[in-house]
Structure 1
Amino acid sequence: MSLRFSLMGPVRAWRDEEEIELGPRQQRSVLAALLLNNGVRLSNDQLIGMVWDDPTPSAVMALRTYVYKIRKALPELDLKSKDGGYTVRAEIVDDCGGEPLEGLRSAYFDAQRVRLGDHRLKAREDCLEREFDVLELQAHVAAFPLRERPRALLMRALYLEGRQGEALDHFHRARALLRAELGLEPGPELRRVHAQILSGDLTPPHRPEQLPPDLIDFTGRTEEIAQALRTLPGTVGITGMRGSGKTVLATRIGHLVRGRFPDGQIFVRGRDVAGELLRAIGVENPVGDKATLWREKARGKRFLVVVDDVRDAASVRDLATPGSAMILTSVRRLHELPGVSWVQIAGLTEREAREFFRRTIGTVRADAEPEQVEVLLEHLSRLPAPIRVAGGKLGSRPDWTIEMFLLQMRREGKSADALPSDCAAMLAPMIAADQDLTDPERHLLRCFARRDTEVIDSHEAARMSGSDPGEIEGVLESLAGVHLIEPLVLGRYRVPQFVRVFFGLRTPVPVS
């Protein structure tokens, strides 16, 4: 779950998208003082001085009571007492609310309201820039007539509504006001928008919406989603073998949190990640240090970035920016990337796989042959991508039983020389994985498939493959790194059935 807070307006908190009740005013005051000093340890005396202007001896007990209630309401905040004080680390968002720290009363909070005033205005103007609502902008300009940024936004909004004359008239009125009140000419932002209107170069703000569609039949992954939501807006990495549904899971998470990233969602696949990010926000033909340019462009923004099928750490290093979030998918876990919370996925659970398969072919057909369904799902190691293909094939053969489908799979799987398209589609994850293997890795998997043993140890692997015992551990760990085998304990590995099925189609290898 994801916990976030706002201090702009009343002190508020949300768990995912559900708002949390924070209790009476003084309890919210204690929480607000901790949040205003995010990551800093505050002693009991410091907290009492912030919350109460004229504290009585009972303030110490009141503070302890409020801290206890905050812990109970927000257990994931991990509010701990250390060295006679308290520290919180939390995500604080700007939600374009009203007066900062609304309803909280003390000299400390009054001073903080002044400090947060400009920040509140900037947050409000950030929201207005995203929404581009003429009426809202006119109201904001009327409330703060000497601020130039909202005037520039209003000129843009008027022009983009086809009200060019009003936009130009607004510039001249703003210029007259600034001269009269401050003795100044309009600043660079107002002058730039004025020039763009005159030249016809003003374009709507670019807001990328690139997330692939969410799948209506998405099934399972509850724990993995919860772990990712706890991490965001930090960087989440999703790793697993091909066909396990990494991209689909990243997309599902993206749709769940897209409302928290109002500047847009960007989906990238390829090696030039920084270049694609820049192009997504309207920077054509970026040159030079693209990572630095991306960080400059993303500063102060809240983007959700999904980078699919990352092949090397260098392509995504140094691209994370404060306020934005990244979700990475990669076959290999990229240990060299700092600050990434990795989620590893494999096949679905037995229950999830059955439910997913029932959705693809219908409950009546699936429930009519429960034993055959289990055989099929085990044959595919409960991987979502092959299950979807199998369900699609059965959907196109309404008169077939699942037993018939299994029989056809056995016939088609006797040779790898000319796989039918349906069988090749089911095996596509393994075909792609095979292309990235070294000869020793491929040879070892063929040996495993010929033996058709689920669990193997390193000594047996060296014997059956004829490899040097000193080198076999490196080959095994490399295969585990791409999830084609699963490490159990030191020196022992499990070979998924789907892997054994595919490499059993390859040319037989003599046993040593």
Structure 2
Amino acid sequence: MDEELRFTVLGPVRAWRGEREVELGSRQPRAVLAALLLHEGTDTSIAELVDVVWGGGDIPPTGTQVIRTYVHRLRRALEPGQSAADSIITSTTIGYRLRTDPASVDLGCFQQLLAVAEAAAPVDALDQLRRAIALWTGPVLAGIPGDYAESQRVRLNQLRLTALERQARLQLELGAVPEALAGLTGLVDDHPFDERFAELLMLALYASGRQAEALAVYRRLRSRLAEELGTNPGQELRTLQDRIIRADPDLLPSASTTLVAGPAQLPADHYGFAGRQPELAAATAILERPDREPTVLVTGMAGVGKTTFAVHWAHAIADRFPDGQLYLNLRGFDPARPAMPTEEAFFLVLEALGVPPQEMPKDLDGRAATYERLLANRRILVLLDNARDAEQVAPLLVGTTGGLFVVTSRHQFGGSVRGAVIALDVLPPVEAIEFLGGRLGDQRVRQEQSAAAAIAERCGRLPLALAVVAARAALNPAFRLTDILAELDESLGRLDAFADADVAVDVRAVFSWSYRALPPPAAAVFRLMSELPWTTSNLVTISSLAGGAIPVTEVLVAELTAAHLLLEPVPGRFGYHDLVRAYAMEQLEAVDSVDVRRAALVHVLDHFVQTAKVAEALVNPHRPAVDIMPRRPETLVDDIADRPSAWAWFIAEYTALVSAVRDAARNGYDEHAWQLAWALDTFQYRGGHWREAVDVQRTGLAAAERMGDMHLKAVAQYTLGKTYIDVGERDAARDLLEKAVAGFRQAGSEEAESSAYVALGNMYSDEGRSAEAVQNYQEALRHGSEPIARATAMNNLANEYSTLGDHELAVTMLLQAIELWQAAGDRHGEANSWDSLGHAQQMLGDLPAAATWYLRAIDAFRELGDRYNEAMSLANYGDNRVSLHDLAAAREAWQRALELFAELRHPMAGKLEQKLSSLAG
């Protein structure tokens, strides 16, 4: 043979001679080839092949001769011109044997990679497993009917599940928890009774700080097993549940074995990606150039598949960038949301690169400098999707050694952004038909080749339009393509060209054709979701919008996703392509009244307000609640059980919540706007979203002023004043906090007045104005009577006295503060005061007493999961041990602190390394 033969069974049964695919004919010859391949170089009897082709059906009298005919056709297709004696399909005494190198069959490659992984070190094993799993291209033996094919699917899928299990265990072992979590969620959904994946998902969630969600996985499995099988989870899973309830730290990856993995943010590669081979080859060739630019710009009209192409290519080259992959949707052309501001883009990429909230630069220049420093020496791939223009994307294209920026945009930017350009056009006719074949099956398309070609032309060979039509056709497998073409033709010409000037085909007609086929409830959800200006929503939010029960909405959303009118970019969250959103907005304007739309918006705002109140109470349980909106009976609330799940909810819904504050205020729902702004305060402060918090709290203050409630207005002034301190706008902060003090006093809210004085004291302390700080802390003490208010003021006042050198007075006050924290049950506040007390005792020279307080603080912070403060107290305790000449204990404390700071990617890690080096010297 001049050209090498290659075969696949881990998906459709296919063969290639060199780079050209071999036409294998109908499903019967493919079934024969599949059986020969799956016997892996051993004999396959004629009787077995007869059973493969007709198993479960009537076997014709000439069955044996027909099998010989199929083998003859396969020989001729695979090796044209070759004699039977020299063919790779040889005749044997009982039937036939296919002589192949295991490396020429995807199943053989899969098994070889698994064997290598079994003997490799963990990091290398994980790489081999990723490569092995990537060989699966769809349903095994796709299109091959019969009992034999089904039994082989079961066998092979078990091999795949075992590989996926091994991959997930290695990911957890090496600390690549986000990567493990992304895959395990879908595996548990697809295999709800497989305890292996439930166990691994529980471990991944627990390692992510999401204890409640981990336990919820166990409860769901236990419920399913009891209801459907009448059994309980195994002992291993029950033991894991108990260890999670006890917050067993040994379940977490060890710092000594953790792989410091870079970000892995690429969206999932699109199943069934077709065509674009010349463009993929051109893009990859760019990487081979010694003088290549660090930027590749992928351009083309809307709907041409820029994101799909860029994501597919990024996955193909990801192994060249071992420091990770970043992904950012810049929203350049989203009809419902403004393009992403540069400051927000920097925040998101810095967060992904591990910059903790307390170290996040507050100004744009600081974020830009940190971003450039972190990328300078990293081999990292950054995919910047949907860029509006050069002005938006240019600040993110910094100098990097060995890294790559991939930018997608409808515009080419001229010469304002240097880099190679990959311009995508509509698909060539052959690739457009291949695109349909990948979604509808090659056989269905081949049987009606002319209709498929006509459908491709009606869609202008635009991938987005083709995907929508293919989704409708796939949902109706009994429809002939000629019928689908006729139905599609009814829409064409009756509708205007799509409003976007970039779109040269009538995609509105394609959307209309698919939209009109929806049941009315699904069509209503499709329209109403365009009312939400954020990118994606979960099922509870969509159910609130539609005013229906969650199980009903789940079915409707599944219909929309199957029709390709909604996307599911991450599991459980749904949104539109921007062109589909524009079409949905048109339909909303045409069909739904203003009253219907406002009612839907109110339902969503009610849902967000009530869920945010639950989440805020869990995140900050000692914050005084201000409840102005009782829950309506019909309001849906997300299931949030504890602090980790509350924090995860804020992360997932943050963009939507910020938009909801603005939408509520814009539409006159001031109670919703004020309450949401209030509920976002803790998350925005602890998460480092200070600049965005200014806008949110300004909106909340304006809403409170319109409501005319003096106390609520003072609360909003206090909240915005604290936020101004965070961003360094001290004059504005002082003005608002002083107004808040006066407002609280007038409203008779002494506890709130005490909090405002503490905030003023903190501002003066930061400025080094100790006299003013002490004065305000004393005022806070005078007005606060509740334990937490007094403990807060006393703790801060004690720290200020210690700054002034009066450490004895500081110790006295801190002991009083600790009693108050204990009375209030605020363990976190108590731990902070213990650490402060350790510092004061250290300054007094009572080193044993200082050590006692530091150790208490360390234990408490560890118990609470506060790794940052645990690390700070460990560092302080190490200093204490050096003073006592206990160098072994100092080294141990600093080493543990270093590990924590390294996990947090905090600058203190460098200082701890220097301290450890000095100890070694």
Higher relative contact order, chain-length normalized (CA < 8 Å, sep 6+): 1
TM-score (norm 2): 0.24
Q: Which has the higher helix share?
A: 2
Q: Which has the higher strand share?
A: 1
Find the structure with the greater CA-based Rg: 2
